[in-house]
Structure 1
Amino acid sequence: MQPTLFEFAGGSPAFLALANAHHTRCLQDPELNHPFSHPGRHPRHVERLAAYWAEVMGGPPAYSRECGDHSGVLHLHAGNGDMSELGRRFVECFVRAADDAELPGDPEFRAELRAYMQWAVDEVLSYSDSGTAVPAGLAMPRWYWGGLQDEPAR
């Protein structure tokens, strides 16, 4: 039986390392720095981000138990206008952060990480117009080898 992407990456410690590395890269980026350094950021942002990505990749439901559902995540990022360039930069920081966090270099695994983040950024961007409503109660997405699971776990 093939391990989940969460297991293959190395579990919760790997996703915490990835979230820390990604946050560091975003702070160093001249365009991404502003949204990642504003004072309203949650004090446990990195830990929550790690829990979110871990859950999406087949890990425990820590994020949804402690922080809410997928609608809440989309709502945080909705209505900010065209952020296509920031999205592209975000994906590139994520891909490079996987190296920084020393996640497995397996090409199929790395392709899944990139594919997931590109899908996630595209989804966030679909709610970027001012006044766009995010549906309530969206279940957490589940990403596996081969992409998004058809029926997210509820």
Structure 2
Amino acid sequence: MSPTLTFDAVIAAAAADAGLTGAQARAALTGALGLLDRHAGRDALAALYAAVEGAETAARSKAAERPRRGLFGGIMASAGGVSGAAVAEAMGLLDRLKDEGVDKAALKQLLPAARDRVCAATGRDLLGEAVRSVPGVGPMLGDG
């Protein structure tokens, strides 16, 4: 499958739909992709990366690095197994995004807008499939 969409186009469309700046949308979507790159199912990611030019590069960029965890995130990561680590990382991402002016409510508008853009261009909910492959993080990433 050749890319039918660019990551920059997803950012621009989702930012406009969610009422965020491009920089805010880029920070949130890049962080979410980084989390997915570390925890999502490989098949779901491969399909997303093939369809959205620049998504894989963004997911593995410095801006997508694993956020630091607080005390509660550390407890979740050690107690919750694989899904606990992903949930703890998602909590750390939410904390980091607050510094960018992106709260949980904004994220719950942004990520569905990005999913809609990807789905409209590809005919599949590729971003949603990747999110759903990570147990426990869907509600934090706008899928629930």
TM-score normalised per structure 2: 0.38
Greater helix proportion: 2
Q: TM-score, normalised by structure 1?
A: 0.37
Q: Could you say which structure has the larger radius of gyration?
A: 1
